[in-house]
Amino acid sequence: MRAYNFILTFLFLLIILVFSGLHLYLPDQETDMTENRALNQFPAFDLKHLDNFPAQMDGYLNDQFPYRTQLITLLNIAHIKLFQQAINDKIIVGKEGWFYLNNPELETHLPDSLYTETQLSLILSNLEDRKNYVEKNGGKFYFIIVPSKYSVYPEFLHPRFTNYSGITKRIQLVDFLKKKKVNYCVDLTDTLLFYKKSGIKMFFKTDNHWTPYGAFVGTNAILQRIKYDIPDINLLDLKDYNIEKRISKNGNLTAMIGLQSYFPESYSHFSFIPKNYYEHGRLRGYPQTTKFPEFKDFEIVFNGQGKYRLLLVRESFAYTQEIFIAPQFKESVFIFDGWLHGFHPEIVKSEKADIVVLQIQEPFLDNLLKE
Supply the pLDDT for residue 256: 85
Higher pLDDT, 344 or 5: 344
- Which of 54-58, 231-235, 313-317 shows the lowest mean pLDDT across its residues? 54-58
Closest CA relative to residue 360, chosen from 318, 299, 309: 318
- Which of 88-92, 133-137, 316-320, 348-352 shows the lowest mean pLDDT across its residues? 88-92
Q: How does residue 128 score in pLDDT terms, banded at 50, 70 and 90?
A: very high
Supply the pLDDT for residue 53: 61
Supply the pLDDT for residue 107: 93
- Across the chain, where does the E strand assignment appear? 31-32, 37-38, 91-93, 99-101, 140-146, 185-187, 241-248, 265-272, 279-280, 299-303, 309-313, 331-335, 355-361
Higher pLDDT, 276 or 141: 141
Res 354 pLDDT > 60: yes
Distance CA 103, CA 322 (A): 27
| Number of alpha carbons in the 13 Å side-chain half-sphere of residue 278 | 26
Supply the pLDDT for residue 22: 47
Residue 233 near residue 308, CB atoms below 8 Å? yes
What is the torsional sign of CA 223, 224, 230, 236?
Answer: positive
Distance CA 237, CA 218 (A): 13
Residue 267 near residue 245, CB atoms below 8 Å? yes
pTM: 0.82
Distance CA 348, CA 355 (A): 10
Closest CA relative to residue 144, chosen from 321, 283, 290, 306: 321
Supply the pLDDT for residue 236: 95
Mean pLDDT, residues 178-191? 98
- pLDDT tens digits, 18-38: 545 545 555 655 555 455 556
Higher pLDDT, 253 or 21: 253
- Counting residues of the chain whose pLDDT is more than 70, the rounded percentage is 75
